[in-house]
Amino acid sequence: MSDFLVRVQHGALAAGRFRWINLLLLAGVAAIGVLGYLEIHNSTTTAAAPVRTVTAARGVVLSSVSSTGNIVAPTQLSVDFQTSGRIVQIDVKAGQRVKRGQILGRLDATSAQMAFDNARASLVSAQANLAQLIAGATRAVRAQDTLAVTQAKQALASSREALAATRASSKNAASSARLGLSQAQAQLTTDTNQLATDRGQLATDQASLVTANAGLAVAQQQVATAQQQLSNDQNGLASAQTTQTSDQGTASLHSQQLSKDQSTLSTAKSNLQAAQTALQQAQSKLSSDCTSDPSGTACTTDDPAAVTSAQNAVNSAQSAVNSAQSAVNSDLSQQSSDVSTATSNSLAVASASRQVSADQSGLSTAQSALQTAQGDVNTLTAAITSDQTKISGDTTKITSDKNAVASQKLSVGSTTVKNVQAQQSAAQSVQNAKTGVRSAVLGKAVKEAPATAASLASARASVTSAEANLETAQQNLAWTVLRAPTAGTIAAVGDVIGQSVSGGGTGSAATSSSSSGSSSGSSGSSSSAFATLVNLSSLQATAGFSESDAAKVRVGQPATVTVSALPGQEFAAHVVEIATLSTVVSNVVTYNVTFALDRPSAQVKPGMTAQVQVVVAEKDNVVNVVSSAVRSAGGTSTVTVLANGKQTVTPVTVGLVGDSSTEIVSGIAPGAVVVLPTVAISTTGTTGTTGTTTGTTRGFGGGGFGGGGFGGFGG
């Protein structure tokens, strides 16, 4: 009986103890349920991004290397004049295409042309003299001599008539002189009246200028005020922009802190879940041990202590979750405040910008008014200057008129003297004509005399000398024109019009890189060639490639050249030379590669910066996919194939890895649909990368740890 009572008491104590445990577990389950609800309510679910695919197909896979260099011309020619002189004409300019023999420039040919004309005239004279000596007095010469005598007699008759005419004109000259005096006096009166009129106009314009200057001062003050207002508002705009930049930096720091706190919250939730799992395990062990041995140490002491310890761990983890959630909530609140601040800053910047625009418009209006006022002042100033010029001119005219009157008075007196002199001169001409008749008669006699051997030899020597002089003069005249020795493009023109050159060319152009001479300004001698001629029909591009890239390049490989100055244009080229020796710059080893442009454009110029891309490997008609669809690790490559809505990771053998696509040797066939890496799109607006991530939220259902779980231990 006593043993039975002991067992009953022990059972009652055990039942009371388990009721307490059940109550504690029920409270924990309720708390977990609430936290689960909050987690589900506040969690961010990441939506699955749409699957992106590409179809494997046959095509071309290209692998290329690229570098940057310059456009060069393989050959160039310096062209210069062969003779010295002053440049008067330049017929070409840099970049112009010229043909062989085309005129490039000219020197002043005045002296050369004069020398040529004199030499030619001397030759004609010498030849005529020789011919006349050989032929003797021909019938034509005799007729010419007779004509000369007749003309001399006619000149005598004309001089006599001129003497009579001079005497008649002397009377007319005296009348003209008196008329000129009367006209000069009338002009003096007219110019004096004009001077008075111009002085009156000057006084009127000076009064108007005073008024215009006052208006100009007002306009200048308005411009200064508008400029100051613009400066103040620009400073306000700069201050608003500075505040906006500072707040944006602070918002970025807050965003970083939010990311850290969200990571901490995620860790705390994971720890809470682990603690809850441990509590469940401890409770399960307690239930099992008390069922098998209610009076055992495990049931009465060890297991309850383990449950209590696990419950404490759950409480501690829950506290960490609550603390982390509070920090995240605070960060979200701060983020909302940052958005509000950014909006306020944007409005302030926009307002300041509008004020600056209004100030600039006002300043423009004030400046326009200032220009108008300044124009009025300038117009009146110019009018005053013109008035003063007219007055000065009137004064000069009056002085001139007075001088003219005095001059005409002197003219009246000197006309008589001139008339006497003219009559004396005409009388002298009559005497000279008589002498000319006698000279023509004597010349006729001399010319009709036979030529001597000495005179013939001298005449022949004169012809030979004149021919040599003419040839030299003709060559010097031709050298004043510079012609292109070959077809090409003018790369540079080194001289200017008016500059003197020393010459020194060979043939039709100088072929050296420079010509001799000295430079002394625009009128000195040039020390450089007149022009540099290049052949742009065979342009090249040179670029340095790294050791690894240069090892892939071969002569004859196709390439594409782009020029920075001509965006959007591509030029076909091919490799023509690969440097054997390297170039080392800043410890970087490169090898220069030369490319020939297949079809150069007229827009491409030597010296331009060029980007060169060389095709070093090519596979035609091979199965390929974009390189981003292939995943390689540990020497194994795979692609994800989409078939019937199912994704399957498929091993593949890859071949040539090109610039944008990869050759598939085996593993998939043309037409296979291959999945590309996807981008996860969060419902809260954040985007993840590399694959699709789906978040799930797990809570705790009822009946696990409550009375249902341990109800058998109740009464």
CA distance 278 to 315: 12
The SS3 assignment for 210 reads helix
**Average pLDDT per consecutive 10 residues, the chain (715 residues; last block may be shorter):** 46 48 56 53 53 93 93 81 89 86 91 91 89 74 81 88 87 85 90 90 91 91 92 92 92 92 93 93 90 88 90 94 93 90 91 91 91 92 92 92 89 85 87 86 71 82 92 89 84 86 57 32 52 81 93 93 93 93 92 92 88 93 94 93 94 93 94 84 47 35 37 36
The pLDDT, as a whole number, for residue 77 is 78
Domains of the chain: 2-43+699-713 (no CATH), 76-108+489-534 (2.40.50), 142-434 (1.10.287), 536-682 (2.40.30.170)
Residue 495: predicted pLDDT: 85
pLDDT for 14 equals: 45
Q: Which pLDDT belongs to residue 602?
A: 80
Instruction: Name the token pair of 332.
Output: 């979200």
Q: What is the pLDDT of residue 269?
A: 93
Model pLDDT, residue 23 = 54
With H, G, I as helix, E, B as strand and everything else as coil, classify residue 582: coil
- What local confidence, expressed as pLDDT, does residue 54 receive? 94
Say how many C-beta atoms besides its own lie within 10 A of residue 505's C-beta: 22
pLDDT at 487: 78
What pLDDT was estimated at residue 1? 46
d(CA 661, CA 63): 9
H/E segment holding residue 309: helix 303-447
Q: Cβ of 628: how many Cβ atoms within 10 Å?
A: 13
Comparing C-alpha atoms, which of 120, 121, 123, 111 is closest to residue 480?
Answer: 111
pLDDT for 51 equals 85
* Alpha carbon distance 715, 699 (integer Å): 30
Per DSSP, the three-state class of 641 is strand
CA dihedral 409, 412, 414, 415 (to 10 degrees): 160
> Any idea of the CA torsion for 156, 161, 163, 169, to the nearest 10 degrees?
-150
Beta strands in 425-501 (DSSP E): 481-483, 488-493, 500-501
Taking the C-alpha atoms of residue 441 and residue 434, their distance in angstroms, rounded to an integer, is 11
Give residues with Cβ within 8 angstroms of 540, minimum separation 6.
71, 72, 73, 74, 576, 594, 595, 596, 597
Residue 537 has a pLDDT of 74
